[in-house]
Amino acid sequence: MDYFLTEEQQMIRDTAREIAEKKIVPARAEMDAKGIFPTEILKVCAESDLFGLYIPEEYGGFGGGIFENVIAIEELSKACIGVSVSFAGSGLGAYPILISGSEEQKKKFLPQIASGEQIAAFGLTEANAGSDAGGTQTTAKLDGNEYVLNGTKQWITNGGEAGIYTVIAMTNKARGSRGASAFIVEKGTPGFSFGKKEDKMGIRASATRELIFEDCRIPKENLIGKEGMGFLVAMKTLDKSRPGIAAQGVGLAQGALDESVKYARKRVQFGKPVIAFQAVQHMLADMAVQTEAARALTYAVSKFIDSAPKDISKASAFSKLYSSDVAMKVTVDAVQVFGGYGYMKEYPVEKMMRDAKILQIYEGTNQIQRNVIGQALIKEYAKRGK
């Protein structure tokens, strides 16, 4: 379908598509098998000015919005979401600065992220604070002109690879989630180290590590916003970045559909290509409809958020929930279309199916997305007096 992209948006799409086809597709199987982080591919993304699509021009970015970023993420995701999450994870790490950072913080950190000179990462999750993001146990204590951080963040995308980390820590445990604060921590700060690279089911090209803080001292200027604002900063960050996960789902589903049609046209059984059988055509038709519906919703939600409305949580959750469920279903069906070959590593669809699962889990499980939507509905209908 034609979404009437502007010339600039078409350029973004074509640029990301070329990187996906020329750089990612030939390398994805090896990156998956060996767990190789896509450093060189991310360099190409940086040289192509993709890292700053959503960052204002005054901070070295392209001056676009979530929609422009979503276009790029979708294209990269058609080839490999292990790569696209490494790209998108930088945006996740940058949003706290963009949303609540001071002018000095924006001037210091955003240009480095926009140029791709540094990638960013977001540190929220902990062993006992996953869905319960307010249960953060990492602490930050003010000591003179410095905050001292102690604790461990878990499963952090781009952990160890990123240069700039936005991290949520408790400055006042007694206040619960209202006692959380957001900080910027740079790689190389004494007392800041990383755990081993996690061995994952999918998205194996991406780097997932613990962030370990042991009496890690950071300048007090690295506090984002005010003390106590950390939970809100985290929630607003996730509201902005979840359409990016949706875009990963759309791209992945499209990639799986493309592979399935290609295969079904070539694979001959009972004397005909299997695409000639309605059983296969109907599967492909459902895959195509679901992928297009996910794309339409993701684009609409991204444009809605870019129009800067007050309340975006519900729409953001719509896109993440729907597109990730579609990606899971479409990739499972892709393996079915391929039959026995789909189960083999010789073809890319088994990787796509393994990769898809994480989309229903990270940046808020789909159960959490339903909670967010449910809570929003309760509030909306109460407001309307119904």
Quick one: which segment of 10-18, 41-49, 119-127, 347-355 binds ligand COS (CB under 6 A)? 119-127
Instruction: State yes or no: is 47 an active-site residue.
Output: no
CA distances from 384 to 310, 313, 315, 339, 378 (A): 17, 18, 18, 51, 10
Task: Figure out which of the listed residues 25, 44, 232, 275 binds ligand COS, where binding follows CB under 6 A.
Answer: 232
Cβ atoms within 10 A of the Cβ of 40, count?
10
Contacts of 382 by beta carbon, 8 Å cutoff, 6+ apart: none
Q: Tell me, what DSSP letter sits at residue 145?
A: T
Task: Figure out which of the listed residues 12, 162, 180, 372 binds ligand COS, where binding follows CB under 6 A.
Answer: 372
Nearest-approach distance from CB 122 to ligand COS, in angstroms:
6
Task: Figure out which of the listed residues 88, 124, 169, 315 binds ligand COS, where binding follows CB under 6 A.
Answer: 124
Q: How far apart are CA 331 and CA 345, in angstroms?
A: 14
| Residue 162 lies near ligand COS (rule: CB under 6 A) | no
- Please pick, among 30, 186, 363, 380, the residue that the annotation labels catalytic: 363
| Residue 238 lies near ligand COS (rule: CB under 6 A) | yes
The phi and psi torsions of 305 (rounded to 5 degrees) equal: -65, -40
**63: nearest Cα among 52, 72, 73, 74:** 52
| Residue 364 lies near ligand COS (rule: CB under 6 A) | yes
| Residue 158 lies near ligand COS (rule: CB under 6 A) | no
Cβ atoms within 10 A of the Cβ of 380, count?
12
| Residue 86 lies near ligand COS (rule: CB under 6 A) | no
| Residue 239 lies near ligand COS (rule: CB under 6 A) | yes
Quick one: which segment of 11-19, 70-78, 132-140, 199-207 binds ligand COS (CB under 6 A)? 132-140
| Residue 177 lies near ligand COS (rule: CB under 6 A) | yes
Nearest-approach distance from CB 8 to ligand COS, in angstroms:
29
Task: Figure out which of the listed residues 56, 134, 228, 339 binds ligand COS, where binding follows CB under 6 A.
Answer: 134
Q: How far apart are CA 324 and CA 369, in angstroms?
A: 11
Nearest-approach distance from CB 364 to ligand COS, in angstroms:
3
Neighbour-count burial for 173-201, b at 16+ CB within 10 Å, e otherwise: eeeebebbbbbbbebebeebbbbebbebe
Quick one: which segment of 25-33, 93-101, 141-149, 356-364 binds ligand COS (CB under 6 A)? 356-364
**129: nearest Cα among 150, 152, 112:** 152
| Residue 257 lies near ligand COS (rule: CB under 6 A) | no
Quick one: which segment of 120-128, 141-149, 282-290, 318-326 binds ligand COS (CB under 6 A)? 120-128
Q: How far apart are CA 327 and CA 353, in angstroms?
A: 8
Quick one: which segment of 44-52, 69-77, 332-340, 364-372 binds ligand COS (CB under 6 A)? 364-372
Task: Figure out which of the listed residues 119, 205, 321, 368 binds ligand COS, where binding follows CB under 6 A.
Answer: 368
Using CB under 6 A, count the residues that bind ligand COS.
Answer: 21
Q: How far apart are CA 363 and CA 360, in angstroms?
A: 9
Nearest-approach distance from CB 294 to ligand COS, in angstroms:
19
Reported residue count of the chain is: 386
Tokens 């990301």 map to which residue? 16
| Residue 367 lies near ligand COS (rule: CB under 6 A) | no
| Residue 90 lies near ligand COS (rule: CB under 6 A) | no
Q: How far apart are CA 38 and CA 84, in angstroms?
A: 10
> Among residues 169 and 349, whose Cβ is nearest to ligand COS?
169
CA distances from 348 to 248, 257, 344 (A): 16, 11, 8
In the complex, the residues that contact ligand COS under the rule CB under 6 A are 122, 124-125, 131-134, 177, 231-232, 235-236, 238-239, 313, 362-364, 368, 371-372
> Annotated catalytic sites, by residue?
363
